[in-house]
Chain A
Amino acid sequence: MWFDGAVTSTVGILGYPLHRHTLTNGLRVIVSPDHSAPVVALNLWYDVGSRDELLGQTGLAHLFEHLMFQGSANVASGEHLATLQANGGSVNATTWFDRTNYFAAMPTGALNLALWLEADRLATLPQALTVENLDNQREVVKEEKRQRYDNVPYGDVIEHLVALTFPAQHPYGHTTIGSMADLDAASVQDAISFFTRHYLPGNAVLTLVGDIEPADAFARVQKYFGKIPAGNRSQRASVTPLPPHTGVPRARTAAPVPADACYFTWRLPVRDTQDFNALDLTFSILGDGQTSRLHRRLVREDKIAQAASSSALALIGGNSFGFAYARAMPGTTVADLEYAMVSEIDRLVHDGPQPAEIERAKAQYEREWLSELSRFDARADQFGAYATLHGDPQLVNTRIADITAITGDDIVAACGRWLRSEQRAVLSYERTNR
């Protein structure tokens, strides 16, 4: 019913409906009706992430995301989340290198309330921003950093990998959570400046997926968001893509973890380019699932690793990242892991993947993508992502076809350009409590 035709692996083009409209203040609106459940997923992608932070202000985009729940002119602190929950909604937000997204899903009867709440904070947030709220959320974010990064085994890996892969002044040269020192230094004025610069209707995409018709949806969005001034949208400086690593940069760290681990990173091309898609399939062949080459070699055959995997992290600003990792079994050294990983990568890059491996990776991609889109909230998030980063939400419907079109030759060519073992950087993560 929701697809124009059956989903098939031969055509691979999905038929999720898409209706688009742009308000005069620049807010882009996407509506995708689906009446299979009496709920609507609302998603707002703001085109701002940790890549937009200035040096000395790392963590500000994420801290600001927390402040968005601390009230606005007509909404009390914490009330945005609490009132939607009390009406059967689930609400959250995330910050990442390329985005800050705010999302809620609720019974259709609460949609106007959700739109009003989003519009109120976009129109009036600075009126409610106080030093008390900032100080409180600063502590909450520091607890988040402790809980997720500082107090768990291997929690600081992402920080090391980012530093190894990009120069400190690069937009991707620091983590989204930021540093404790920069969080401590953030002021109310910093937060208001950040809001004024990035939280503008023209810097956002609002997506609705679910039990609503396009004309009705556009009218509601117009009613709540139409009068918000456009503001001055600043242009982001373009980023020159960095070439692959040379000379195998290395970093070493030691911590009280249960087992040694070895991590590789690569600089990759930006997301959804032909080379990136080819590399995405390659990372799946190399390190996703039981049939992948790293699992077979390190976990199953050599029995030197507890786990081994690889994946591509899709980014838009000049480069993406690629990762591979293995965690050692007792008696195995990081050097043993690295040797086996390099030999698998060399074999894959030099000989290319088997045709069966390519077909398998495509079949897995198809299921993962369809599973992702089976959820209203995830579907809305993907429409927002593709509209924001690529200017075209229809790419969500053609994504499987784009992946299916990749050939073995494309993979060999992309690997030769980006994924050779001498283009890696290496992090050795060693345990201290032997």
Chain B
Amino acid sequence: MKRPAVRTPRPWLFPEPRHGTLPNGLNVLIFDRPGQYVISAGLVVDLPLTAEPSDREGVATLTMRCLDEGTRTHPGTRFSEVLEDAGAAMAGSVGHSASELYLDVPAHRLGSALELMAQALIEPALETEDVDRHRSLRLAQIEQTMAHPAQRVGLAFREAVLESGYRAARPAGGTAATVARVSADDVRSFHAQHYSPANSVLVLAGDFTDDPFDQAEATFGRWRSPENPTVHETPRPAPATCLLIDRPDAVQADVRLGGFGIDRTDPRWADVQVASYALGGAFLSRLNRVLREERGYTYGVQLVNQPMRSGGLLTVAGSFRTEVAGAAISEAVRILDLERTPITENEVADAVNYAVGVTPLRYATAAGITEQVTTLIGAGLSSRYVDSHTAALGLVTPGSATRALRQVLDPTRMSLLVVGSAKALEGPLRDAGWAVRVQTDAAAT
């Protein structure tokens, strides 16, 4: 039977929100999504982590983690009981430029759950005992992170590629040394100073049974806290480096290869998205085709184009069995060199069709919309970005994609970070021309 032709998808636009501002300055965005019976709420606070005292990094994370450990109205575990009784779930996330609190709840219970979310933001108890416990838990979590090779190498890459001194070079949740110093007083004053309605946006998406503006006003309207002016840093790249972190018993090498990238506001963003997809996003991308489907060196390898609010990280990410890791890295370097093999017409078409085609599904759920909109707001953008990015993708050419990628990622000046067996890997990396430094560290074993 003949292979069927594909009909061009009908154009799709990101939904327009209804927008309102409460008298206290809190902006509210409502996305009406019929058929989405679980409402997704997200509150994003404009909160660069440069606001943390430098010897108390992690205070933003501990603040977020303690928000649901009791409020003045519902002290102690009573708060999580009433939240869970409402069939709701809350989750927090702290990034380098914004903090986000999310709530999921069936529509018919939105009113009571939104009240609890507001309480957590406006009047959290932040008891000393809870902060102390969360500090211990965060320290234990750091140990787990350092023992996990993929997480470890991700942190090491960030630290290596961004010029030291920038907050973005260090983990959002702080390090063991700084977290250990965070006190309950630090958490309480951080909350008082940085959580404010005028610095925040509330996003609500779903199939509403009552007017969500009224519900937002009834719950968040009482939030009083002065606006806090914020300044965001603009990180710079560090010189290229090569670091091998020893994990003697490892059977694979976890690899990050690349450098400092760009953010969504860069005019080359769509070009780099297309080129990254062709090189390491598609299943049959140049990297995955060779390293997985031809050589069988890996379960999968990607070129990840990760934007920050300013600048970004452009990274080949994969893990390879130790015996072939050196060969895999050399092959990846060769593949990233576009001088003789520019991005093709077909690769651009496939990348654009993929990016445009998956968009409606990605935003078909309430949670999909809320998470995207809060992420964009945290990056200093708005939901209009989605459609403007789609339009920008339509203008990408093989020439523009090739040029942009070559400008952003020079294959002769990339950083290489590896977590794996130093004994087995140091020789092959030196032979391949890497000026490798070896770091031995008990936490990595």
Contacts and interface: CB of A to CB of B under 8 A. Distances in A.
A364 B77 contact: no
Contacts of A3: 37
Contacts of A106: 357
A389 interface: no
A287 to B, nearest CB: 13
Interface in A82-108: 82, 85-91, 105-108
A143 B252 contact: yes
B369 to A, nearest CB: 11
Interface in B43-62: none
A242 B12 CA distance: 53
Interface string B76-108: 010011001111110000000000000011111
B251 A150 contact: yes
A140 to B, nearest CB: 5
Contacts of B321: 142-143, 146
Contact of B9 (A79, A108, A148): A108
Contacts, number: 224
A135 B296 contact: yes
B281 to A, nearest CB: 9
Contact of A370 (B106, B143, B283): B106
A141 B298 CA distance: 9
Interface string B6-35: 111110100000000000000000000111
A130 interface: no
Contacts of B367: 371, 374
Nearest to B141: A306
A89 B283 CA distance: 12
B196 to A, nearest CB: 26
A86 B426 CA distance: 39
Contact of B360 (A37, A140, A144): A37
A169 B84 CA distance: 42
A374 B363 CA distance: 11
A189 to B, nearest CB: 21
B250 A36 contact: no
B84 A363 contact: yes
Contact of A143 (B81, B133, B147, B319): B319
A349 interface: no
Nearest to A16: B35
A9 B140 CA distance: 39
A166 B226 CA distance: 61
B35 A258 contact: no
A116 interface: yes
A253 interface: no
Contacts of A144: 299
Contacts of A143: 252, 296-299, 319-321
A290 B68 contact: yes
A324 B77 CA distance: 22
Interface of B is mostly: mixed
Nearest to A123: B1
A303 B84 contact: no
A269 B339 CA distance: 61
B445 interface: yes
Nearest to A142: B321
A151 B319 contact: yes
B344 to A, nearest CB: 13
Interface in B319-335: 319-321
Interface stretch (B166-174, B348-356, B430-438): B348-356
Interface stretch (B187-195, B233-241, B286-294): B286-294
B298 A360 contact: no
B302 interface: no
B104 A371 contact: yes
Contact of B85 (A8, A77, A356): A356
Given A7-B106, A82-B283, A329-B140, A136 B294 contact: yes
Given A78-B293, A367-B38, A38 B350 contact: no
A7 B34 contact: no
17 contacts: A8-B108, A37-B360, A78-B289, A82-B283, A85-B283, A85-B350, A86-B353, A88-B353, A89-B354, A112-B5, A138-B296, A143-B320, A151-B252, A258-B146, A259-B144, A303-B133, A371-B104
Given A146-B251, A152-B148, A367-B104, 19 more contacts: A7-B37, A7-B107, A9-B87, A36-B364, A37-B12, A87-B357, A90-B358, A90-B361, A106-B357, A108-B7, A109-B7, A116-B4, A143-B298, A147-B319, A256-B445, A290-B80, A300-B133, A363-B85, A367-B38
